[in-house]
Homo-oligomer: A and B are copies of this chain.
Amino acid sequence: MKIINGGVCAAKGFKANGIHCGIRKNHSKKDLALIVSDVPATAAAVYTQNLVKGAPLTVTKEHISDGIAQAVICNSGNANTCNANGIEIAEAMSALVERYTGVAAKNVVVASTGVIGQPLNLKPIENGMAELAAGLSADNGAAAAQAIMTTDTTAKEVAVEFTVSGKTCRMGGIAKGSGMIHPNMATMLVFITTDAAISREMLQKALSQDITNTFNMLSIDGDTSTNDMVTVLANGLAGNPEITAEGEDFNSFMQALNTITVQLCRMIAGDGEGATKLLECIATGADKEETAKIAAKSVICSSLLKAAMFGADANWGRVLCAIGYSGADVDVAKIGVSFRSAKGTVEVCRNGAGVPFSEEEAKEILLQNEIEILISLGDGPFGAHAWGCDLTYDYVKINGDYRT
């Protein structure tokens, strides 16, 4: 498997585009994305567990209830959530896709991201559709990645090439972060495309399994969004024998999917609102996988630790504290903590108590922009990874007046 360019258009038969249509006031920010497959694709999705759900999710769920989708339309600048006419607008967006691309409205995945509770005006979307559809191209994946951004500072796309039964397949994805990120059995907006042939059941299985170790182990700020969604469209154009059961081919697919999702997790965490650092907590030595996951996620969710990481302060007591209140069944007397980055590794706690360390060395390690927090929980065989970011002045600034 190798990392390749092309993002959501890396796989055969996918075209995309992204434009500024006018939902956002800032003309330099794209706000409408479209992804279309040449042929109908097998589709799988996972959604937010928030009881407050965006209207686009309801419509998408209905549209892919038959396991088929052929296009994705997504606007930024407005979440189309908690609006009286939300469903109507999301259906109208699907109808516009049909009118301008020929893809049946019932095969359209609809998504919206942005502020909650303000009616979404269809007019700019209507006005922009001709331009959006005309620009659909296998070279425009990056434009789609840009058009789904909200407070993200960088577009997020990744693609891989892999092999299924000797056939070369490709898979790519785009994502938007970067606040209200604390997925719960679902995730933020992620659209993944592949030309691999895979059955509807196995595609959903692959996605549902994968997210438990990827997007569900990611947190920017503890707030689970109303509009979280990941979809995968698999159009089968690679020509591999369809994956219909577990086995070597399914494993190859899972590995490709995991490469995409881990990379997107890292991109989302590293570009968390206001973030200056990507934090990765790596738990080892747990008796159960669940224990490792609970502990690792609690560490990267701690506001106190996140602020300490911003300040490059090796305040490991906050790591222990976060493990202690996580609910994970751990023996505190066995916990070890180290911090690692490109500048080296410093051990700060062993067997639940501090060990002497050089504050200067720790500071140098923590001043890097990718920090690993290594927690060993004992002698067990299980581990977990979780991703997050530091808590900064800019997080407060961005969210102190998001709507203006």
Contacts and interface: CB of A to CB of B under 8 A. Distances in A.
Interface stretch (A131-139, A234-242, A347-355): A347-355
A223 B322 contact: yes
A116 interface: yes
B403 A116 contact: no
B400 A332 contact: no
A353 B399 contact: no
A226 B399 contact: no
Given A221-B303, A321-B180, A396-B393, A313 B401 contact: yes
Given A116-B317, A301-B222, A396-B391, A82 B352 contact: yes
Contact of A399 (B303, B322, B324): B303
A226 B225 CA distance: 30
Contacts of A53: 324
Total copies of the chain: 2
A79 B315 CA distance: 13
A124 interface: no
A380 interface: no
A402 B52 contact: no
Interface size class of A (residues with CB under 8 A): 35 or more
A116 to B, nearest CB: 3
Interface in A163-222: 179-180, 182, 184, 221-222
Nearest to A182: B325
A89 interface: no
B303 A222 contact: yes
Interface in A319-343: 320-325, 330, 332
A118 interface: yes
A104 interface: no
Interface string A42-54: 0000001111110
A399 B304 contact: yes
Contacts of A316: 117
B324 A221 contact: no
A325 B82 contact: no
Contacts of A115: 315, 317
Given A321-B50, A325-B49, A313 B117 contact: no
29 contacts: A48-B325, A49-B325, A50-B321, A51-B325, A51-B330, A52-B332, A82-B349, A82-B352, A82-B353, A83-B353, A116-B318, A117-B349, A180-B304, A221-B304, A223-B303, A223-B304, A223-B325, A224-B325, A303-B303, A303-B395, A308-B399, A310-B396, A311-B399, A311-B401, A311-B402, A313-B403, A391-B396, A393-B393, A395-B396
Interface of A: 48-53, 79, 81-84, 115-118, 179-180, 182, 184, 221-226, 301-304, 307-308, 310-311, 313, 315-318, 320-325, 330, 332, 349, 352-354, 391-393, 395-404
